[in-house]
């Protein structure tokens, strides 16, 4: 079934539709309330308006000025942004920024929490102020994100960005309470003399006990053998 607009091809319909959206959504209820108060002021005077709506004299004159500068359009009474014109800016030395860039180059897309740990000894050695974790995240964003995305080359030579696969990860708030409560696994691939070898690693989050096992396959059966070999609780 196909859905088609019955007004398609009608001259001026799009402009009228956009004007309707502008009237409906761009004029806020607060702006309409201001216009109503200004109309009351014009009809019944200043004192009555101040008493009826509990509003200050300077506020009324400010609204009137806004309406005049907006050529009588109610959109001019909409709330303006209250963001200050002069805001505080992060003023950190280029040495700190360059070190963060270096860490991100060595470890692509490394998170701000891990960068904080690696940056701490560098700042202590060079007697620099160590930025907080949130500040490191803000500095990375200020420098454009410093992200590196995996890419592939198509048959026609076009380079396209690969979509990142979502992984199940341990929540930051989770705390392991006993050995075997939570474990982290990873697989490292190495090519040795033209043959692929896989190193399966396991680390117990609570005790920090780690072990590794090399295999020629990283299929589910290899993982099962790994669990049985080291008696890792599943």
Q: How far is CA 114 from CA 58, 111, 132, 135, 136, in A?
A: 53, 6, 12, 13, 10
> What span, in angstroms and rounded, lies between the C-alpha atoms of 1 and 53?
55
Q: Which of 15-24, 51-60, 110-119 has the lowest mean pLDDT?
A: 15-24
Compute the average pLDDT of residues 181-194.
84
- pLDDT of the residue at 70: 86
Query: Residue 44: CB partners within 8 Å, gap ≥ 6?
Result: 52
CA distances from 183 to 206, 209, 210, 225 (A): 8, 10, 10, 17
User: pTM for the whole thing?
Assistant: 0.47
Mean pLDDT of 197-209: 87
pLDDT digits (tens, 9 = 90+) for 139-180: 999 888 888 777 777 888 888 877 777 777 788 888 889 988
41-45, 84-88, 163-167 — most confident range: 41-45
Rounded to the nearest integer, the mean pLDDT of the chain is: 83
């Amino acid at each position: 079934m196909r859905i088609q607009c019955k007004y398609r091809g009608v001259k001026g319909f799009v402009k009228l539709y956009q004007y309707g959206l502008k009237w409906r959504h761009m004029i806020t209820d607060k702006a309409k309330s201001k216009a109503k108060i200004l109309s009351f002021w014009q009809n019944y005077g200043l004192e009555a308006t101040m008493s009826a709506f509990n509003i200050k004299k300077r506020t009324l004159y400010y609204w009137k000025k806004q309406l005049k500068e907006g050529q009588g359009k109610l959109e001019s009474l909409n709330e303006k942004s209250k963001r200050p014109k002069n805001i505080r800016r992060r003023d950190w030395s280029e040495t700190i920024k360059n070190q963060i860039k270096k860490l991100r180059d060595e470890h692509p897309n490394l998170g701000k929490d891990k960068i904080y740990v690696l940056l701490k000894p560098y700042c202590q050695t060079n007697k620099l102020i160590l930025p907080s974790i949130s500040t490191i995240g803000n500095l990375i964003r200020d420098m454009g994100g410093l992200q590196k995305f995996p890419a592939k080359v198509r048959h026609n030579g076009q380079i396209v960005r690969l979509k990142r696969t979502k992984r199940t990860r341990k929540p930051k708030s989770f705390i392991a309470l006993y050995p075997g409560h939570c474990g982290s696994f990873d697989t490292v691939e190495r090519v040795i003399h033209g043959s692929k070898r896989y190193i399966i690693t396991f680390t117990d989050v609570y005790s920090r006990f780690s072990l590794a096992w090399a295999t020629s396959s990283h299929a589910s059966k290899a993982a099962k053998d790994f669990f049985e070999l080291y008696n890792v609780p599943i």
